[in-house]
């Protein structure tokens, strides 16, 4: 069992009354007046050709490598949008 999975199980077994929430402010009516719903962005499955060494590097980073590729592309696109506006 991985360390992170073991830690998640430990956290799930902590009783609610043992969790210190004193540093979390209470939500008041004002919070809900200004709250906005943020929907997750949808993803599409695509086929893309990548250089094998690039793909190998991302895969070597472990689980979630496809999300990492998406994040790198998002950072690039956001930067391009900000410099071209």
Distance CA(8)–CA(13), nearest Å, equals: 9
Would you list the domain boundaries of the chain? 3-25+43-83
Q: pTM value? A: 0.54
Query: Residue range 57-82: average pLDDT?
Result: 95
**pLDDT at position 38:** 85
**pLDDT at position 39:** 85
DSSP structure class, residue 17 = G
- Residue 2 banded pLDDT, cuts 50, 70, 90: confident
Average pLDDT over the chain, rounded to an integer: 92
- Closest listed residue to residue 43, CA positions, set 63, 76, 67, 79: 67
């Amino acid at each position: 069992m991985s360390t992170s999975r073991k830690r998640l199980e430990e956290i799930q077994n902590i009783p609610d009354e043992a969790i210190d929430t004193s540093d979390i402010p209470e939500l008041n009516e004002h919070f809900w007046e200004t709250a906005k719903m943020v929907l997750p962005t949808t993803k599409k499955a695509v086929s893309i050709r990548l250089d094998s060494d690039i793909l190998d590097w991302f895969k070597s980073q472990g689980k979630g490598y496809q999300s990492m590729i998406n994040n790198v592309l998002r950072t690039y696109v956001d930067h391009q949008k900000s410099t071209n506006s």
